């Protein structure tokens, strides 16, 4: 190879290297351009997010400023009346009529001020996630009647119609939080009433069996709102617009609270509206599984508690058959024995789940009432075991724990339904009538309780006479900080108090149970022992009051 050939070869290699370098440079430039574009996208996205966050912060700040301004006005208005009329009462020349007017105004404005403060506190609790819903069995139809009574007079004053329309079939008794269901309904109904000047308001109530939910619609013929206004009406501190606040008043918290409560109740609150044509609020909330015996098919089956007490006697069904009751509380056994005996059926009691299984397989029963929380073997285990070994008769969970999870567990174990404690007498007899053979004609009992029954009063008296002994055991377990044992004692005590009609005792015991639940779950930062002592002092006072009322010496 000549020098010229060698040089040409080197030049060729250099050209290839240069070409490769140019290719790599172009590739690097493309990569740099892509990275630059990507970074620009990120920067633009971050900038947009920051701008949105800034706008949201400014909007939230403005909303809160508007709220504080509005709230200041809302609080000052009733305070002005309260202070003014209070000062006027020092005028000795006032007539009795003037004094009555002043006093009525003070009371009315004080209640209005309290409602405003309660709204603020409720929202704060919900936002801080310290808000707890109860699971209580109550009469839905009676609650709807109470709402109707509360709102209908105001509707009449405005020459508006107000109807509560029940769409059957529907459960009469449901398990959820009655206080907040009623609060949401009153809020929605009052809201509809506020913005309606002609026509009226309809409340439609139905049962979504597949979803285990109650569905309620509040429909008005009021002013309605635009789609843009609808988007912000559920936001905290907001109303449709400032003119709404000036014209109709209000804090702008009611619908926010209702929305959050609906979410806590595993439901939702929605709105459809058209300006000038009215609004439709749809409120759905979850309930615990419902017994078939509790389903009302038509209006003739509905007996609200006020009707029962004042007009219609309760009919105790005439029944036959044999009921096995697994229940470890002697007082509850005595009460259940009284109820079942009134129907004409037979009853046998056992004290725990193990005995329930043995008894059910050894004898013939038409129905089993199974307490869930019992010693040795609980009701869930006993039910599951009975189903595994072929027991086919109906089993009804009989429990003071009305939480949906507990009732679902009972159904999964093989229960056919449930009866909660405190015992609702009407529901108790309906469940018995569903599963037991029918016998003689129904027995008419005066009123909706056994208040005139001597045996019922003897059971109540026996229970109260034993409460000092129960208190001694409870105080010992609390002093030892044996929260689990104390929880078992108080749980049984609570069910019996409620079933026997000791409402004040029931309320105090329930508070202690909630405190013990927090202690067991470790969800409280308070001094459990101190708080427990305060609650047990209240319980002791209530027990002493009942002992004195029944002329029973402490034992």
Residue 495 is part of a domain; what is its CATH number? Answer: 1.20.120.160
pLDDT at 308 over 60: no
**Domain match, 428 and 469 both:** no
Lowest mean per-residue pLDDT among 92-106, 186-200, 210-224: 92-106
Give the tens place of pLDDT for each residue, 245-265: 444 444 455 677 788 888 888
DSSP string spanning 189-238?
HHHHHHT-SSSEEEEEEEEEGGGTEEEEEEEE-S----HHHHTTTTSTT-
Q: Whose CA is closest to 431, among 327, 325, 287, 351?
A: 325
Give 500-506's long-range contacts (Cβ < 8 A, gap of 24+). Answer: 500/331, 500/335, 500/459, 500/460, 500/463, 501/449, 501/460, 502/460, 502/464, 502/546, 504/542, 504/545, 505/539, 505/542, 505/543, 505/546, 506/422
Higher pLDDT, 15 or 351: 351
212 sits in the region (left: phi over 0; alpha: psi -120 to 50; else beta) called left
Domain limits at 223?
136-286
Mean pLDDT of the chain, nearest integer: 79
In a domain, 147, yes or no: yes
The pLDDT-based confidence of 316 (bands split at 50, 70, 90) is confident
Mean pLDDT throughout 510-531? 72
Give the end of a domain, one of 430, 449, 468.
Answer: 449
**Domain match, 277 and 148 both:** yes
Phi, psi (rounded to 5 degrees) for 202: -120, 135
Q: Whose CA is closest to 512, among 548, 546, 480, 488?
A: 488
In a domain, 428, yes or no: yes
**Domain match, 427 and 495 both:** no
The pLDDT-based confidence of 66 (bands split at 50, 70, 90) is low
- pLDDT > 90: percent of the chain: 16
pLDDT at 2 over 90: no
Q: Whose CA is closest to 184, among 231, 160, 152, 216?
A: 216
**Domain match, 334 and 373 both:** yes
Please return the burial class of 53, using the count of CB atoms within 10 Å of its CB with bins 0-12, 13-18 and 19+.
Answer: exposed
Count of residues making up the chain: 555
pLDDT at 383 over 90: yes
| Residues with Cβ within 8 Å of residue 40, at least 6 apart in sequence | none
Rounded-to-integer distance, Cα 134 and Cα 112, Å: 26
The pLDDT-based confidence of 342 (bands split at 50, 70, 90) is confident
**Domain match, 463 and 339 both:** no
Higher pLDDT, 466 or 1: 466
In a domain, 14, yes or no: no
pLDDT at 126 over 80: no
Tell me, what's the pLDDT at 242?
45
Lowest mean per-residue pLDDT among 32-41, 150-159, 239-248, 416-425: 239-248
pLDDT at 139 over 70: yes
**Domain match, 442 and 484 both:** no
Question: What is the total count of domains within the chain?
Answer: 3
**Domain match, 525 and 491 both:** yes
Lowest mean per-residue pLDDT among 68-77, 115-124, 247-256, 450-459: 247-256
Confirm if 131 and 179 have CB atoms less than 8 A apart: no
Confirm if 239 and 233 have CB atoms less than 8 A apart: yes
Confirm if 382 and 483 have CB atoms less than 8 A apart: no
In a domain, 46, yes or no: no
CATH code at position 206: 3.30.565.10
Tell me, what's the pLDDT at 67?
58
Rounded-to-integer distance, Cα 532 and Cα 545, Å: 20
The pLDDT-based confidence of 309 (bands split at 50, 70, 90) is very low
Q: Reduce the DSSP state of residue 512 to 3 states and report it.
A: helix
**Domain match, 317 and 370 both:** yes
| Cβ count near 398 (within 10 Å) | 26
**Domain match, 388 and 406 both:** yes
pLDDT at 117 over 80: no
Higher pLDDT, 250 or 405: 405
In a domain, 303, yes or no: no
Rounded-to-integer distance, Cα 217 and Cα 282, Å: 4
Kind and range of the H or E run holding 278? strand 278-286
The pLDDT-based confidence of 213 (bands split at 50, 70, 90) is very high
Tell me, what's the pLDDT at 325?
95
DSSP state of 555: -
Confirm if 515 and 492 have CB atoms less than 8 A apart: no
Rounded-to-integer distance, Cα 418 and Cα 290, Å: 8
In a domain, 505, yes or no: yes
In a domain, 304, yes or no: no
The pLDDT-based confidence of 218 (bands split at 50, 70, 90) is very high
What are the C-alpha distances in Å from 532 to residues 169, 476, 485, 518?
A: 44, 12, 14, 11
The pLDDT-based confidence of 452 (bands split at 50, 70, 90) is low
Confirm if 475 and 343 have CB atoms less than 8 A apart: no
Give the end of a domain, one of 286, 305, 337.
Answer: 286
| Cβ count near 459 (within 10 Å) | 23
Tell me, what's the pLDDT at 124?
60
Please report, to the nearest 10 degrees, the dihedral formed by the alpha carbons of residues 257, 260, 263, 264 taken in order.
Answer: -90
**Domain match, 405 and 497 both:** no
Confirm if 83 and 97 have CB atoms less than 8 A apart: no
The pLDDT-based confidence of 303 (bands split at 50, 70, 90) is very low
- Label residues 531-547 b or e (16+ Cβ within 10 Å = b): bbeebbeebbebbeebb
- pLDDT > 70: percent of the chain: 79
In a domain, 61, yes or no: no
CATH code at position 383: 3.40.50.2300
Give the end of a domain, one of 411, 434, 449.
Answer: 449
**Domain match, 248 and 265 both:** yes
Rounded-to-integer distance, Cα 191 and Cα 75, Å: 19
Phi, psi (rounded to 5 degrees) for 326: -95, 105
**Domain match, 410 and 501 both:** no
β-strands 443-445, 417-420 pairing: unpaired
């Amino acid at each position: 190879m000549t020098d010229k050939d060698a040089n040409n070869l080197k030049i060729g290699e250099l050209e290839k290297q240069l070409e490769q370098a140019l290719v790599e440079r172009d590739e690097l430039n493309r990569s740099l351009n892509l990275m630059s574009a990507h970074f620009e996208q990120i920067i633009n996205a971050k900038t947009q997010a920051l701008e949105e966050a800034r706008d949201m912060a400014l909007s939230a700040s403005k909303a809160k400023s508007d709220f504080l301004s509005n709230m200041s006005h809302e609080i000052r208005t009733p305070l002005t009346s309260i202070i003014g009329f209070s000062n006027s009462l020092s005028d000795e020349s006032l007539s009795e009529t003037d004094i009555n007017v002043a006093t009525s105004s003070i009371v009315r404005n004080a209640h209005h001020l309290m409602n405003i403060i309660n709204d603020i506190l409720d929202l704060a609790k919900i936002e801080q996630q310290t808000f707890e819903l109860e699971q209580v069995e109550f009469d839905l139809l009676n609650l709807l009647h109470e709402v109707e009574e509360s709102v209908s007079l105001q509707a009449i004053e405005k020459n508006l119609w107000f109807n509560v329309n029940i769409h059957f079939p529907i459960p009469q008794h449901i398990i959820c939080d009655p206080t907040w269901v009623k609060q949401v309904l009153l809020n929605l109904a009052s809201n509809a009433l506020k913005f309606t000047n002609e026509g009226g308001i309809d409340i439609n109530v139905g049962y979504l069996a597949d979803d285990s939910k109650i569905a309620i619609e509040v429909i008005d013929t009021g002013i309605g709102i635009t789609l843009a206004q609808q988007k912000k009406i559920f936001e905290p501190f907001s109303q449709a617009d400032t003119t709404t606040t000036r014209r109709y008043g209000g804090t702008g918290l009611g619908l926010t609270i209702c929305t959050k409560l609906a979410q806590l109740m595993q439901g939702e609150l929605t709105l459809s509206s058209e300006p000038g044509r009215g609004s439709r609020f749809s409120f759905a909330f979850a309930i615990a599984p419902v017994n078939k015996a509790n389903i009302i098919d038509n209006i003739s089956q509905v007996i609200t508690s006020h009707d029962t007490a004042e007009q219609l006697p309760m009919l105790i069904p005439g029944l036959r058959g044999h009921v096995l009751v697994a229940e470890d509380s002697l007082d509850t056994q005595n009460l259940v024995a009284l109820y079942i005996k009134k129907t004409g059926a037979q009853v046998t009691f056992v004290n725990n789940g193990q005995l329930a299984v043995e008894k059910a397989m050894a004898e013939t029963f038409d129905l089993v009432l199974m307490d869930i929380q019992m010693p040795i073997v609980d009701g869930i285990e006993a039910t599951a075991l009975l189903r595994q070994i072929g027991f086919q008769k109906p089993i009804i969970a009989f429990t003071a724990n009305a939480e949906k999870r507990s009732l679902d567990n009972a159904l999964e174990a093989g229960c056919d339904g449930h009866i909660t404690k405190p015992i609702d007498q009407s529901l108790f007899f309906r469940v018995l009538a569903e599963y037991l053979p029918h016998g003689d004609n129904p027995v008419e009992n005066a009123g909706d309780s056994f208040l005139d029954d001597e045996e019922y009063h003897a059971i109540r008296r026996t229970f109260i006479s034993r409460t000092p002994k129960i208190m001694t055991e409870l105080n010992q377990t609390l002093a030892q900080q044996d929260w689990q044992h104390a929880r078992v004692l108080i749980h049984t005590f609570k069910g019996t108090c409620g079933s026997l009609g000791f409402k004040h005792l029931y309320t105090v015991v329930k508070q202690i149970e909630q405190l013990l639940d927090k202690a067991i779950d470790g969800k409280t930062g308070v001094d459990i022992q101190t708080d427990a002592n305060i609650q047990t002092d209240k319980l002791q006072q209530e027990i002493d009051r009942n002992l004195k009322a029944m002329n029973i010496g402490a034992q």
